[in-house]
Amino acid sequence: MKITNTIVEKHGLKPEEYSRIKELLKREPNFLELGIFSAMWNEHCSYKSSRIHLKNLPTKGNQVIQGPGENAGVIDIGDDDAIIFKIESHNHPSYIEPYQGAATGVGGILRDVFTMGARPIALLNSIHFGSPDHPKTKTLLNGVVSGIGEYGNCIGVPTVAGETKFDSTYNENILVNAMAVGHANKSKIFYSKAKGLNKSVVYVGSKTGRDGIHGASMASAEFDENSEDKKPTVQVGDPFTEKLLMEACLELMKDKSIISIQDMGAAGLTSSSVEMVSKGDLGIELHLDKVPCREDGMTPYEMMLSESQERMLIILEDNKEKDAKKIFDKWDLDFVVIGKTTNTNNLTLKFENKTIGEIPIDALTSKAPLYDRKWTKTRLPEKKIDIKDLKKIKLEDALLKILSSPNQSNKSWVTEQFDQMVMTDTTQRSGADAAVIRIHKKEKAIAVCVDSSANYCKAHPLTGGKQIVCESWRNLISVGAKPIAITNCLNFGNPENPKVMGEFAECLIGLKEACEFLDFPVVSGNVSFYNGTNKKNIDPTPVIGGVGLIQETKNKINHFLKKEGNIILQVGKTFGHLYQSIFFKEIYSINEGPPPDINLSNEKNNGESVLKLINKKLVVSAHDISSGGLILALAEMCLPSGYGLKIEKPQKLSNLMEYYFGEDQGRYLLEIEPKDLLNVRKILNEDNIFCELVAVIQKDYFEIKDEFKININDLFRSNNKWYNNY
Amino acid sequence: MNSTVIVFPGSNCDRDIAFALEKLKFQNTMVWHKDTNLPKSDLIVLPGGFSYGDYLRSGAIAAKSNILNEVVKSANDGCLVLGICNGFQILTETGLLKGALLKNKNLKFIGKDIYVKAMNTDNKFCNKYKQKQVLELNIAHNEGNYFTSSDHLKELEDKNLIPFKYCDEKGDISEKSNPNGSLNNIAGIFNDKKNILGMMPHPERMVDKMISNDDGVNLFTSLLN
């Protein structure tokens, strides 16, 4: 087939990119080769717009075993134990086909984790939908939640935490980010780097079908009115086969027959084979006649570009084929040697005894385009509103309105569709600041959470980038965990737009500063650009997945109030910052002004002191103050416990709304027994940490003297009605 | 006491139940579905999960696997058999228990803690529970909506073959406390001889206060009595 300009364009390649291909090959590519370039050079696989910014992120630390660049990041949690984790987006497929899109997002991230030798122990998700009254939202919500649920439920990995948010910015482009966390023995971690010549390249797992062809390219373009036509690019998930594949791989990993292993994710057989030998500075020869296919008559082009799920590529040590095959036979999975490693440094494709494609590996990887795209800075927005000019609202009415709003409502409609208990190590399920998973048969546990703050990032990307890292850090501390490392999923619009590129660049600078300051490195991640339709970009939505360690599971805490008469102490100062707050947005529809300022040194000091108090067992429950401010955090502590609170009035700030709804950062609420109060204050004093008494636990009523007195059942009802009525 | 846990492709609570059994001093063996021999054991457990992906119908394919012939033989010889969740579905598919588990009334997967009431404690599985005791257990299923013929339902009630019914925290059995639409709030049933128990809630998830509670412990320790 003659390669025309139209064909090049259909492959998502720019004319100058096509010229570069011809230069690198020193000839015109054939159709198969063009497809392979398209798969490797798209934004999703090549990170061509993001690489120069990503390299600035801090990725090293005492506890980091493996940073970005592998299937997932690896951290050391002491003894023989390593935790392997990563977050990834499946936004575009989920918008086109919500159930399968979301399900295969979970499947893909699970493979990234068990490929490295870890047994997955927890799943998390961050899902963002359009406005609830947008006609598509309900269908998308239903499809995504059941897709995420069914995959995790079936494979038997608990889905333990997440966030579900609604905003009109996602009307035409939802976000579905899934995170998987696994546990491995430190000495049994498997990498994707190929080693050795003439080693067998083995295909295992499901057969290859015609689904998901050009999935990664589809995810590297904006949507338009014809997006529905892209349905065939969405893969179809089979969690049952993935369960078999996982068990078979983990069984094979018990001995030493694997040299390297890589899952076939985005760009399928192409990217897995190329990545493995690229890292090992080798070549690879694949015999495509041998690829197990679901249908007759599949072409090499389809085989190389299919994104059929539940497949892996393994490079085996010599003479291990027979034993390895036995394991895959036991699990009724395909196991076929389809090629070998070579010293040519080329990807060589053979079919029906002919060489049908030959591409230098470096042309697909290190010589892929790299763009330093133009970007513009976002200025810190001004504060233009005088709260005295706004229409008065009663504190009680504002609180109940926020508690019953879609974004703040109780999410059990979502979380009850997930099996949170399978594997029987979930000690803290969703609904807390972070979930806590005990390491099987051990004393210790890990805490995991996911967070995002798109409105802060939109208002001022630099501050927003810092804020989400701090939020993740606070959530881990609030359950008694020492924060260790993060994974990030960077969801942005079209990088060719300098404003979007600026949002990306500045969020990353913010991320970098906060991660460095808090010694909270990034060990894995994923970039998703082109989130938008017809030139309307989504608000910048970086999502952070955090992991922390709790030495003794029994010391974990949550934010559920424990005892009448206990005191709620607030750590950190309230200044009353209402710009970009839930209060402004929900009550007055005001979306302007700067996000709350981040003081990294306060964050660090406050967090470390709180963790110290928790470890000294002086804190009975804890909660970070985030969106909705002090009053919402207090209400959230009441809701799961059934206790009420008698809340103090502010001593300095005159405006009640600013005091109760302000979203100043670096604050925590701690439930303290009266007998420990003096001691706690003394320790905080020594650490130069500001604290104040804000409430006392009582029965039945949530009240502020002279303002309101709400029965806890009413609070509960308003928090629980939205999903049920939707 | 010796126990055997049958592992099907797609079982995912096999490790959990084995862990619980071992914790409670059972000598446990795992048996792969392709095996044709069962070790001598006092208790056979069919664990939860999605055997064969729940394709065709939950439990339908597992009911035709090699090892099930042996399980049926043992069960008919009086061996104790416990089917939890997918295990309960498999037991109804084999015919060892009558009735069927339909899709949940709300047509969604339900994963949450619920309450059940111990309705019959005069049997091997429940003798350490108090009559009418309210237990908090976890459910996690798509198809847990128990259905059977009206004759069989009457028989279940008359012969006291329903050990657990869904209830609320206080023990009230009502439509409101029925999570999935099961007839008469049925959470588990016996066969006539009461040596086979099928139940949707997961007792093995409730054997450790650090994780949840220990309301499931007595189901296993009853067997040791």
Rounded-to-integer distance, Cα A687 and Cα A591, Å? 36
Through-space distance between the first and last CA atoms of chain B, rounded to whole angstroms: 10
Segment A416-442 shows an average pLDDT of 97
Where does residue A325 fall: left (phi above 0), alpha (psi -120 to 50 degrees), or beta otherwise?
A: alpha
In chain B, which residue's Cα lies nearest the Cα of A242?
Answer: B10
CA angle A512, A540, A265 (to 5 degrees): 80
DSSP readout, A355-390? Answer: EEEEEEHHHHTTTS--------PPPPPP----GGGS
What is the pLDDT at residue B225?
78
Model pLDDT for residues A94-140, shown as the tens digit of each residue:
999 999 999 999 999 999 999 999 999 999 999 999 999 999 999 99
Kindly list the residues from chain A whose CB atom is less than 8 angstroms away from the CB atom of residue B13.
Answer: 156, 422
Rounded-to-integer distance, Cα A248 and Cα A658, Å? 57
- Of B59, B57, B2, nearest to B30 (Cα)? B2
Where does residue A224 fall: left (phi above 0), alpha (psi -120 to 50 degrees), or beta otherwise?
A: beta
Rounded-to-integer distance, Cα A60 and Cα A415, Å? 34
**Confidence band (pLDDT; 50, 70, 90) for A231?**
low
* Catalytic member of B85, B93, B141, B167: B85
Instruction: Answer whether B52 sits within 8 Å of A418, measured CB to CB.
Output: no
Q: What are phi and psi of B86, to 5 degrees?
A: -60, -30
Q: What's chain A's length in residues?
A: 726
What is the pLDDT at residue A2?
83
Q: Tokens for A107? A: 């499947």
Q: Kindly tell me if the per-residue pLDDT of A644 is higher than 80.
A: yes
Kindly list the residues from chain A whose CB atom is less than 8 angstroms away from the CB atom of residue B211.
Answer: 421, 424-427, 438
Q: Kindly tell me if the per-residue pLDDT of A653 is higher than 80.
A: no
What is the pLDDT at residue A219?
61
Rounded-to-integer distance, Cα A612 and Cα A482, Å? 10
DSSP annotation of A407: T
Alpha helix (H) ranges present in chain B? 14-23, 66-76, 86-94, 150-158, 217-224
Segment B97-105 shows an average pLDDT of 97
Strand partners, A450: A545
Size of interface A-B (CB pairs under 8 A): 87
Query: CB-based contacts of B212: which residues, under 8 Å, 6+ apart?
Result: A421, B113, B136, B138, B205, B206
Is B141 catalytic? The answer is: no
Closest Cβ–Cβ partner in B111, B204, B210 for A417: B111
Instruction: Answer whether B16 sits within 8 Å of A241, measured CB to CB.
Output: no
Rounded-to-integer distance, Cα A505 and Cα A493, Å? 12
Is A90 catalytic? The answer is: yes
Instruction: Answer whether A156 sits within 8 Å of B49, measured CB to CB.
Output: yes
Kindly list the residues from chain B whose CB atom is less than 8 angstroms away from the CB atom of residue A244.
Answer: 9-10
Rounded-to-integer distance, Cα A389 and Cα B115, Å? 52
Model pLDDT for residues A14-27, shown as the tens digit of each residue:
999 999 999 999 99
Which three-class secondary structure state does DSSP give residue B223?
A: helix
Judge whether A265 and A273 are in contact, CB under 8 Å: no
Rounded to two decimals, the pTM is: 0.96
CA angle A84, A607, A124 (to 5 degrees): 35
User: Which residues of chain A have a Cβ shorter than 8 Å from any chain B Cβ?
Assistant: 146, 149-150, 153-156, 238-241, 243-244, 330-332, 412, 415-427, 438, 553-554
Instruction: Answer whether A419 sits within 8 Å of B110, measured CB to CB.
Output: no
In chain A, which residue's Cα lies nearest the Cα of B203?
Answer: A424
B16: contact with A, CB 8 A cutoff: yes
Rounded-to-integer distance, Cα A83 and Cα A76, Å? 7
Which three-class secondary structure state does DSSP give residue B186?
A: strand
Model pLDDT for residues A289-336, shown as the tens digit of each residue:
999 999 999 999 999 999 889 999 999 999 999 999 999 999 999 999
Q: Tokens for B30? A: 């795992």
Model pLDDT for residues A551-565, shown as the tens digit of each residue:
999 999 999 999 999
Which three-class secondary structure state does DSSP give residue A168?
A: helix
Task: Burial-class residue A714 by CB neighbours within 10 Å (0-12, 13-18, 19+).
Answer: middle
Element (DSSP H or E) covering residue A468 = helix A461-478
**Confidence band (pLDDT; 50, 70, 90) for A173?**
very high
B53, HSE (Cβ side, Cα atoms, 13 Å): 12
A53, HSE (Cβ side, Cα atoms, 13 Å): 25
In chain A, which residue's Cα lies nearest the Cα of B137?
Answer: A421
SS (HEC) of A66-89: ECECECCEEEECCCCEEEEEEEEE
What is the pLDDT at residue A218?
60
Q: For tokens 């969801």, what's the residue?
A: A491
**Confidence band (pLDDT; 50, 70, 90) for A214?**
confident
Is A287 catalytic? The answer is: no
Rounded-to-integer distance, Cα A373 and Cα B182, Å? 60
B111: contact with A, CB 8 A cutoff: yes
What is the pLDDT at residue A236?
83
C-beta atoms surrounding A336 within 10 Å: 16
Kindly list the residues from chain B whose CB atom is less than 8 angstroms away from the CB atom of residue A238.
Answer: 53
Q: Inter-axis angle of helices A31-41 and A268-279, to 10 degrees?
A: 70
Q: What are phi and psi of B23, to 5 degrees?
A: -60, -35
Q: What are phi and psi of A525, to 5 degrees?
A: 170, -175
Q: Kindly tell me if the per-residue pLDDT of A221 is higher than 70.
A: no
Rounded-to-integer distance, Cα A361 and Cα A344, Å? 9
Q: Tokens for A118? A: 């870890």
Sheet with strand A445-451: strands edge to edge: A426-428, A435-438, A445-451, A541-550, A482-491, A522-528
**Confidence band (pLDDT; 50, 70, 90) for A1?**
confident
Q: Kindly tell me if the per-residue pLDDT of A227 is higher than 70.
A: no
Kindly list the residues from chain B whose CB atom is less than 8 angstroms away from the CB atom of residue A420.
Answer: 111
Closest Cβ–Cβ partner in B19, B52, B138 for A240: B52
